[in-house]
Structure formats: C-alpha cells, structure tokens
Amino acid sequence: MSRARVVPRTVSLLLLLAGALLIMLPFIWLILVSLKPADEIFSPDVRFLPTRIEWTNYVRAFVEVDLARFLMNGLIVVAGILFFQIAFAVPCAYALSQRRFVGRQVIFGMILAALLVPFHVAAIPIFLGLAELRLVNTYTALIVPFVASAFGMFLFRQFFSQIPADLFDAARVDGLSETAIVWRIAFPLAMPAASAFAVFSVTAHWNDLFWPLIATSDPALATPPRGIVYFRDQEAGDDMGPLMAAAAIVTAPLVIGFLVAQRKFTEGLAAGSLKG
C-alpha cells in the first residue's frame, strides 16, 4: 500500500475510534459504576476502574426496588401494545391494498393524516377519557392509547401492495375466507415488515417515560423507565451502585437485541423516521 494512503487512513481510523469511545463512555461508565462498592463511588478521588468488583449492587437492585416487577410490566405493556397494533393494522392494510371498496381513499387519507400527530398531542383528552372510565392506574391505560398505529397500517399497506393479487385470488378459489387469507397468507408473507415494525414499536414503548408518568402513579404498574425514576427519587444518596445496576439491567434487553440483530434494528428504527 502506498504511503499516501496509510496516513489519511490512520488519521480517520484514530478519529473514528476516539469518537466511538466518547459515544460509548456513558455505557462504559454505567457498567463500571454499577460494579463499584459504595465507598469507591462516593470517593472524591474518582478512579476509572473499580478496585474490587461489587456484584451485590445487582442483587440489591432487585431487592431494594421491585425491579423484576418493572421488567415484567414492561414486557406486558410492549407485548400488549404490539399484539393489538398488529391485530388492528394488518387486516386494514390488507383490505386497503388488495380490495376495492368505497371509502378506501378516505381511510388511507386518515392514516396519512394520523401519521402527522405525535402521541403527546392526544395525551390530555385520552387521559380525560380514561379517567372518565376509571381506568387510570391500570395496564389498560398503558396499552390502549397506542393500539391504533397509523405507522403500522402504513408500513403493512406498502408491503401488501407489492404482493401480486393473483396470489390472493388463488387462495379465494381454494375457498379461504378473507380473514383466513389475512392471517394465514398475507401476514406470514409480511414478516419482514412485521419484524421491522416490532423493533420500532417495542423500542418506543419500552423506553417511553411520558405516558407511564401520566397514566400511572402506582409503583406496582411502573414500566422500566418509570421504575428507574421511582428508584432514583426515593434513593437517599447511598444507593448509587444499585441504581446504576438497575439502569444497566433495564437498557440491556434492547442493547443486546440490537447487537444480535443489528440490521433489523437499524432498519426498524430508521423506518420510524417516516413517523410524525
């Protein structure tokens, strides 16, 4: 290799490494502090590495607050939301792309318009409605506001409109009902779109703090970010290690998911840029 190439390449490599290290710093620090004993965390003489590893921080994170509960709540909420989003979006998207009926354009227009509305805009009236129905502080309140995903409907519709109609006609000739076609033929074909959508939806709702902060005040219903904020607020100052351990555990599922399925994650999250 010529020298003229080595120098710029080395420079760009070093800069990129330094930048990546800077980006990773909060992750590294989170892990390191979560492994430090309390006296080392609170020593004004800050050391980068712990002198001895304090695993008990991770145990105390589960004992001092109900972290297992927060994770379970997170799982219930993201799974519930995803289930209903798909249940609503897939049949609608299928009908919009493969069937002809009056009002098709109107409904597609509604989906496009709904894409423009950030969830925050609907928060106050939805809260009022849930309060009226006495549903505040329930799982329902955490799940129901998100079941109509215009983004999901849009994504699936785009996917289904690329599938040739002959395929569905053949299924009809075989005597399948439209509902059966949706779930037994169209949905399995749409797996690439579904997985990208799942990444988008699960990440958004696992990480959300805005709505859990509004819809619940009961710690037993706290989702992981809500739980972290509870823990931090009640923490008297000596629980920094366990708090950092809890934060590491909460973000671990998504980080691991991302590292395992990088392509799917990048695709799903980048597709979200279409959403208002």
Partner 1 sequence: MIGLSRRARDGLTDLWLVGPASLALLVLIFVPVVAVAILSFTDYQFGARTFNFIGLENYKTLLTDPIGRRAITNTLLYVAIVIPFSMIFALLVAIGLHGMASWAAPLSRILRAAYFLPVAATLVAMAIAWQMLLHPSIGLVNTFLNAIGLPGQAWLSDRGLVLYTLAAIGIWQTIGYNMVLFLAGLAAIPGHLYEAAACDGADRQWERFWTVTWPMLGPTTLFVLVVTATNSFRVFETVATLTKGGPAFASDTLVYALYREGFVYFKAGYASAITIVFFVFVLVLTLTQFGLLERRVHYR
Hey, which residues between 231 and 270 contact partner 1 (CB under 8 A)?
Answer: 232, 240, 243-244, 247-248, 250-251, 254-255, 257-259, 262, 265-266, 269-270
By CB under 8 A, residue 20 contacts partner 1: yes
By CB under 8 A, residue 101 contacts partner 1: yes
Strands (E) located in the chain: none
By CB under 8 A, residue 147 contacts partner 1: yes
CA angle, 206 as apex, 203 and 209 as ends, to 5°? 115
Q: Which of 3, 23, 105, 218 binds partner 1 (CB under 8 A)?
A: 23
Q: Which residue stretch of 50-58, 166-174, 188-196, 220-228 sits at the interface with partner 1 (rule: CB under 8 A)?
A: 220-228
Q: Are 247 and 232 in contact (CB under 8 A)?
A: no
Q: Hey, which residues between 59 and 78 contact partner 1 (CB under 8 A)?
A: none
By CB under 8 A, residue 124 contacts partner 1: yes
Q: Which residue stretch of 54-62, 65-73, 104-112, 162-170 sits at the interface with partner 1 (rule: CB under 8 A)?
A: 104-112
Q: How far is the CB of 232 from partner 1 (least distance, A)?
A: 6
By CB under 8 A, residue 6 contacts partner 1: no
CB closer to partner 1 out of 101 and 162:
101
CA distance 197 to 161: 17
Q: Which residue stretch of 52-60, 113-121, 159-167, 187-195 sits at the interface with partner 1 (rule: CB under 8 A)?
A: 113-121
**Which residue, chain included where needed, has tokens 């991302």?**
258
8-state DSSP, 147: S
Q: Are 140 and 209 in contact (CB under 8 A)?
A: no
By CB under 8 A, residue 44 contacts partner 1: yes
Q: Hey, which residues between 175 and 204 contact partner 1 (CB under 8 A)?
A: 178-179, 182, 203
Q: Are 195 and 268 in contact (CB under 8 A)?
A: yes
Q: Spell 138-156 as b/e; 16+ CB within 10 A means b.
A: beebbbbbbbbbbbbbbbb
Q: Which residue stretch of 54-62, 95-103, 164-172, 189-197 sits at the interface with partner 1 (rule: CB under 8 A)?
A: 95-103
Long-range own/partner contacts, residues 204-209 (CB < 8 A, 24 or more apart)? 204/272, 205/77, 205/78, 205/81, 205/82, 205/146, 206/74, 206/78, 206/253, 206/254, 207/254
Of 223, 238, 220, residue with least CA distance to 37? 238
Q: Which of 67, 130, 150, 221 binds partner 1 (CB under 8 A)?
A: 150
